[in-house]
Amino acid sequence: MDADVPADGHAGRRGDTRARIQRVALELFAEQGYDATSLREIAERLGVTKAALYYHFKSKEDIVRSFSEDHFCRMDSLIDWARQQPPGPATGHEILERYLTILIEGSDVFRFLEQNQATLRSGDDGKHRFEQFRPRLYALVDLLIGPDATTRARIRTTAAFFSISASLMLYRDQADTSPEELRKIILEIADDLTRDLGYP
């Protein structure tokens, strides 16, 4: 068995190897483009055999799909956490802050998806990514302001989530704004959009 192929039961190591493959693939996609990158090149950069790589991913499409799967898993974890918290402004702020953290930590992946929209849109995964996002967004809106909030309140809260993602995407590389300052500004605006909309 290849050294990078974990034995049954070694879930932690399997996860570490999977994350390493994702990181190296993302580096190569950024350096030479998604279309120009092969699985062989990813395996060579990793220093493993193609068989070891195939143990985790059978294609480049599988790697891209795993980016979305991981993102949605993190959103599901946020939703699960929020369901265990008392409703109110403090929990609402924490939901927004944790959502922003998810986006910041996945910013390299989102930059790749943004830069390769034309290529990735042709696949079924690209077409259905928003359909996977929609129910999770609805769940976060409900958790932040309550399921009985007005349509106006729901739209404002939805706008808060989109303002977080759009602002981060557009301004993350601004040389005159530090990451800490950008985070602070984005959260202030999201809080303003959701203030006094639902739970007292």
pTM (global) more than 0.85: no
Average pLDDT, consecutive stretches of 10 residues, N- to C-terminus, the chain (200 residues): 39 70 92 89 91 90 90 96 94 96 90 75 61 92 93 96 94 85 95 81
The alpha carbon torsion through 61, 66, 72, 74 (nearest 10 deg) reads -160
Q: What is the pLDDT of residue 4?
A: 41
CATH class, 11-58 region: mainly alpha
Cβ distance 53 to 78 under 8 Å? no
CA torsion sign for 143, 75, 154, 89 is: positive
Q: What is the pLDDT of residue 200?
A: 54
- In the chain, the N- to C-terminal Cα span, in Å, equals 58
Cβ distance 56 to 21 under 8 Å? yes
Q: Spell out the residues 6+ positions from residue 98 whose beta carbon is closer than 8 angstroms to its own.
A: 78, 81
